[in-house]
């Protein structure tokens, strides 16, 4: 193994918000605020889960500017440059309210306790599974079961492989410190994608016949693949559009309510190409790729499956929460 391999830092704040009183943080509608960047794949998981489960009324959301400065995530998209609920200009203020001595990275997603202004958790794997399990009493009528108990062992196993070689694999390639580390990540990434293509060739979803946590975790990497990972992170063996099974699978999910209305290709592109100046020192943002292919028929209904199981699709997102559509971005030249 190369000594210059990219290693993701562990999440320092891993408190749980629980329904049974087993943690200091109880499930309480209206008490917490989910802070995200629409550019970030880890945060996008939480946005999709929140939408599918109908938790918008229970957990508010704040969206950070996709362009960070030296103090990291900032709220310059909001009036006066402050989050309107928390009253802070930078997410690090919530981190330091929880631990004044904290000197690590500032990451999203982050759940903040509104009354105290303290960060509760930035543990992205647990955030989404807890939204499915601990917040069940707050789910909308007809919410799908994204983490069904009888499939959890299989979902967790798929998630481990997808995280190692795909979700984190693209970062291991993009931030590799030498050729050996990059080549290892590159080959493991495409070997895993090939295996996922084989798995999905005859089934609509990764585990079972409904959308689960596993599909959401894979989707947030796939939707960014051609826009940023293929070129920016040198994951250029094939584009997503050149992998027929995964391309159809990703379009199927994108066109499902609760997915496309959380995806902001403008934020995604501007963040990666403008923030990672060690990789892209000119900060030039590519004009492409052509996004309209995401709206074309995918044909995967023929495989059967029930996207929401016995549940129903989510309704429209709350006012002001929907990401810009592909039609809007295309019209604006983005």
**Residues 108 and 37 sit within 8 Å (Cβ to Cβ):** yes
* Residue with the two structure tokens 């990219």: 6
- Spatial distance between the Cα atoms of 209 and 120, rounded to a whole number of angstroms: 34
- Written as six digits, the tokens of 50 are 């929140």
Kindly list the catalytic residues.
40, 171
**Residues 200 and 206 sit within 8 Å (Cβ to Cβ):** yes
> E-assigned strands of 92-176?
110-113, 118-121
Q: For residue 314, give the nearest of 211, 208, 200 by alpha carbon.
A: 211
CA of 118: how far to CAs of 91, 93, 96, 194, 281, in Å?
10, 8, 8, 42, 35
73 is in an annotated binding site: yes
Annotated binding site: 73
Annotated binding site for glutathione: 73
């Amino acid at each position: 193994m190369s000594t210059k391999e990219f290693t993701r830092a562990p999440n320092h704040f891993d408190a749980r918000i629980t329904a049974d009183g087993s943690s200091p943080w109880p499930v309480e509608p209206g008490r917490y605020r989910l802070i995200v960047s629409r550019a970030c794949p880890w945060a996008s998981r939480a946005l999709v889960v929140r939408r599918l489960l109908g938790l918008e009324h229970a957990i508010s959301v704040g969206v950070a500017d996709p362009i960070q400065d030296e103090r990291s995530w900032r709220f310059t998209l909001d009036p006066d440059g402050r989050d309107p609920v928390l009253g802070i200009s930078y997410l690090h203020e919530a981190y330091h309210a929880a631990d004044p001595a904290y000197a690590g990275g500032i990451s999203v997603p982050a759940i903040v306790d509104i009354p105290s202004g303290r960060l509760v958790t930035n543990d992205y794997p647990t955030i989404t599974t807890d939204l499915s399990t601990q917040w069940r009493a707050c789910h909308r009528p007809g919410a799908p079961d994204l983490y069904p108990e009888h499939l959890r062992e299989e979902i967790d196993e798929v998630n481990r492989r997808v995280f190692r070689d795909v979700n984190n694999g693209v970062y291991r390639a993009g931030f590799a410190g030498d050729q050996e580390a990059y080549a290892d990540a590159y080959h493991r990434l495409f070997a895993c994608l090939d295996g996922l293509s084989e798995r999905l060739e005859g089934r609509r979803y990764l585990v079972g016949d409904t959308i689960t946590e596993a599909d959401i975790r894979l989707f947030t990497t796939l939707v960014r693949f051609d826009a940023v990972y293929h070129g920016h992170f040198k994951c250029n063996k094939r584009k997503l559009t050149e992998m027929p099974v995964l391309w159809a699978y990703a379009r199927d999910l994108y066109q499902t309510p609760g997915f496309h209305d959380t995806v902001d290709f403008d934020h995604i592109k501007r963040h990666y190409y403008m923030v990672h100046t060690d990789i892209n020192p000119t900060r030039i943002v590519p004009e492409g790729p052509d996004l309209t292919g995401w709206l074309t028929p995918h044909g995967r209904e023929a495989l059967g499956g029930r996207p929401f199981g016995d549940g129903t699709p989510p309704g429209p997102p709350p006012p002001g929460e929907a990401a810009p559509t592909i039609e809007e971005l295309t019209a604006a030249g983005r």
